[in-house]
Every structure is written in structure tokens, then in C-alpha cells.
Copies of this chain bind each other. A is one copy, B any other.
Amino acid sequence: MNAAPLSGLYAPSLALVTDLYQLTMAYGYWQQGLQDREAVFHLYFRKAPFQGGYAVAAGLALAVDWVENLKFSEDDLEYLGSLRGSKGNAMFPAEFLNYLRHLKFNCDIDAVPEGTVVFGNEPIMRIQGPLLQAQLLETALLTLINFQTLIATKAARIREAAGPTDQILEFGLRRAQGFDGGLGASRAAFLGGADATSNVLAGQRYGIPVRGTHAHSWVMSFADEVTAFSAYAKAFPDDSVFLVDTYDTIEGVRQAIKVAREMRANGHELAGIRLDSGDLAYLSREARAVLDEAGFPNTRIVASNDLEENLITSLKQQGARIDTWGVGTQLVTAYNQAALGGVYKLAALRKADNSGWDFTIKLSEQVAKTSIPGILQIRRYLNEHGKPRADMLYNTAEDLPNHLMLVDPADSTRRLPIRPDTQYRELLEPVFRKGKRVLDLPTLAESRAHAQREVQSLDPSVRRFLNPHIFPVGLEMGLYEYRTRLILEKRPMRSA
């Protein structure tokens, strides 16, 4: 129990990556005989992160892996059996633990492919299956999808700021939220648009290109910068990026050039220099001028130091001469919004007599927290150029009318009729059927390419950072009307 064998964490079972209440509810459902009642949950966020106009869905491959390996180990069951209530009674009876021991996952899961652009209130995943099982998936799915989607979106924004040709290197491991926070961030950052990572484990695990420069300590370990740079160039004659700000940046650039000349005499070229402090706009222009004048116009300038999309935009506006962006803390922790508020809400429950569905809603005290009932699908309508025009959420358990109308749930006077011949695609795809995977997952590189196409397909007004245009996401009129009736029915009416 003590001293945290962290590497011991990296262990057989991840079934206990969950909130206790998932297990207490599971016990309650089991006790009530409700464990197999068919239920539908949606996983969605309410607002795109970073006050932005969109998010890049990510994390599905990790979620699939977790679900496929979901099994309570004997250690897990022993731990659960050891838990006590306030009166000293066992929290879970042995029969229930035995039920968990033999539990076989057999839900259906539909999900939006990784890299797809999504908006607030759109289900990224839809889970349909036995109530107890579908409930048990909640926490781990949220943890994975929330974080991956958050970081992939941040990376897409940084790509937007850097432009299509600049290099983006993710350097964040040391400031990440734990080892797996770093590993997951490297994955999502690459998916969302980064070119490479400094995280060697992420390179090994996911095939992401690994890149790096050297630290200040390298320079400090030698008598002077020339000696330090020369030694590094000896080790990596064609791949050296010298960190020039250990003592004084521009002086450092001059020392780097001395070594670059030696390298050139031996048939090698200095790949780049790196700036890690100070006024990056000014210093990069100066460094560029010094390098160009010395005959090194192809030596790249790498910059780092708390960079994020707004700072990169500002540096570019100031004429900074930076062609490689080392992005760390701000990317891997999504520093300015460190969590995506994804939720997992029950939306349909099979009637006890199996005659059909009860669609369910949660009201709460805040309008924005009111859920959407039904077994939802997202239909994305395209304009004449094949670009996204509007998204419609609809209940697949009901027939659609011939004339479709979208209603903005936040302002029901905003409506959009859909012409019958409008092209569309549907975003939720089958991933599991009865617990068996039916989807071949794309490679991470494929998901990355998909993400870039997806983001590029959005109008620039939706992609901009400041007050982005709100992409229209509406409820199908029938769903809107049904939801409104359900709210009125469930909300207690009090007289003034």
C-alpha cells in the first residue's frame, strides 16, 4: 500500500480505472435485477475547448484497447472485497464480486473516427448495451477521450498558427501530468498536427518521429560554447541543432557559426540553432541576419519557451524568423484549459416489457447541462464544395420526416431547412457489436492525415482563435420538440 510502486502500476488489469460509484451503481443495478436492461449512453462535451470553434475527436484507439482488455483480475476482486462501509460491513457481497469475475463485455459502441472535427453536444461515442456494463465504461472512456480530444485540438490550433510548412516539435514530457500524461499528449499532439516529439517512449510506442537538440547542461559541461558545439557536431554531424542562449544568444549564434564553418569544411551542414529565452521576435531576426550573412541561409531557427497558438501568431506578425516551433507545457497540458468537460449521459432505456424505448433526460439547475434524449446520430450536411455546412443530431429510433428542419437548441427561433438533395455523411461508425470489434482501426498517421483534412475543410471563420464563427449544430425538429416536451414534463412546475 505504501511507497507507490509506480512501475507496478504498469500491470495486468486496468479494470479499476474507474470511479467507485460506477461499482456501487453496478451493485445496485445487479441487486435490482436491472443489470441487463438495455441502455444507451452518449459521450459528448458541451463546448469546444479554448473558446474555439471546433474540436478534433481523438482517443478512440486507446478506448478500444481499454475495452478489449477489460476484465476484473483476482487482485481487483480481492481489493473490492476488502472495502468496508461505515458500519464495518463489506461494501460488496461475494456473489456480486463473482458476477464481476464472469462479466463478459457485450455492448455495441459507435464512435466518431479519430481526427474528425466535432462540435459541442455531439456524441463522440454512443454506447448501447446492458445498463450495468454501459455504466461501468463511463469513467475510463471519459478519461481517455477527454484528454486525447483536448490535446489533439490544441495541436490543431498550434498547426493553424504555425502554418502548413513550419515544423512543430512537441517537447512537453517534463511538464506533463505524469508519465502517461506525457505519452498520451505526445500521441494526441501528433494526431492533431505536430510533426515529431522529444518523447522517446512515444516514438517507440506509436512510431512518432523523435527529435531533439541538447540542453544547457551540455554547453556548461565544456570549457566554452565552441568546444561544446564541436563535440555535439562530432556525435551528430548532419543533425545538430545548437542551443545558443546559455550565456548570451547572439554571441551564441556567432560561436555556432564558427563550428558550422568547421562542419562545412568537413562536408556537413549545421541543421539549426535553438532560441529558448528572451525576445524571440527580435532574437530570431537578428540570428537569421547573422546566419544569412555568414552564409548559412538554410540553417533552421528553432524556438521554444512557453509557446502556444496565440504567441506563435503574434511572433509571426512581428516578423519573427522562426521555422521550427518547439512546443512543450502549453501543448501537453493544454495549459490555458487543462481539461475538456466531456460527460457521459444516459439517453435511452429499454422499457421493462421490452416494447420499446424510454428516452431519458437530465435537467439539473443549469440549462447548458440539460442532456439530449434518444439514440443519436450526427448527420453532417455538406455545401456545394463538399465542405461542412451544418450538423444535425437526430434520434435513430424514430423515422425521419421527408422535410428536415434543424433547430438550434439554444435559440429555437434559429432554424435551417435542409433541401432533400443535400449531400451528407454520418459521423458515428460501428466500433463494437455485441462486444466484438467490427472496425479496423486506422494507423495513427492515417488519423493524423484525416485530422488535417478535417480541419482544413472548415471555413477559416470557424478556425480562427478570436470569437470564431459558430458552426451550426441543430436538433432535428422532431427531436427538438420531443426534448422540449420531456423537459416540461420532468421539470416541477411551481407557481410564482
Residues of A within 8 A of B (CB): 1-12, 14, 16-25, 27-29, 31-32, 34, 37, 39, 41, 61-62, 64-66, 69, 75-76, 79-80, 83, 85-87, 89, 91, 131, 135, 138-140, 142-144, 146-147, 171, 173-185, 187, 198-201, 203-207, 210-218, 220-221, 231-232, 234-236, 238-239, 245-249, 251, 271, 276-279, 283, 329, 333-335, 338-342, 344-346, 349, 360-366, 369, 441, 443-444, 490-492
Contacts and interface: CB of A to CB of B under 8 A. Distances in A.
Q: Which 8 A-B pairs have the closest CB atoms?
A: A278-B365, A180-B180, A1-B207, A10-B10, A21-B212, A20-B212, A338-B338, A177-B177
A187 B16 contact: no
Given A28-B218, A441-B2, A177 B173 contact: no
A208 to B, nearest CB: 9
Nearest to A352: B223
Contacts of A7: 14, 65-66, 69
A247 B363 contact: yes
B365 A3 contact: no
Contacts of A339: 175-177, 329, 333, 335
A207 B3 CA distance: 10
A386 B41 CA distance: 57
A282 to B, nearest CB: 10
Given A4-B444, A10-B12, A245-B364, 4 more contacts: A27-B235, A31-B234, A176-B177, A177-B184
A206 B181 CA distance: 19
A236 B85 contact: yes
Contact of A221 (B201, B205, B346): B346
B31 A235 contact: yes
Contacts of A441: 2-3
B203 A20 contact: yes
A19 B399 CA distance: 54
A289 to B, nearest CB: 17
Given A143-B179, A173-B18, A212-B21, A205 B39 contact: no
Contacts of A39: 221
A341 B333 CA distance: 12
A251 B492 contact: yes
Contacts of A80: 200
28 contacts: A1-B207, A6-B65, A8-B205, A9-B180, A14-B201, A16-B203, A16-B204, A18-B201, A21-B213, A25-B218, A27-B235, A28-B236, A29-B221, A32-B231, A32-B234, A37-B221, A79-B204, A85-B239, A138-B215, A175-B342, A176-B177, A178-B184, A216-B345, A216-B362, A247-B363, A249-B365, A277-B366, A279-B365
Given A83-B210, A247-B363, A14 B492 contact: no
A14 B179 contact: yes
A311 to B, nearest CB: 15
Contacts of A333: 177, 333, 338-339
Contacts of A6: 14, 62, 65-66, 144
A79 B206 CA distance: 12
A131 B220 CA distance: 12
A279 B340 CA distance: 22
Given A131-B221, A178-B147, A334-B338, A206 B247 contact: no
A490 B248 CA distance: 9
Contacts of A17: 173, 179, 182-183, 199-201
Contact of A21 (B12, B32, B198): B198
Contacts of A24: 212, 214, 235-236
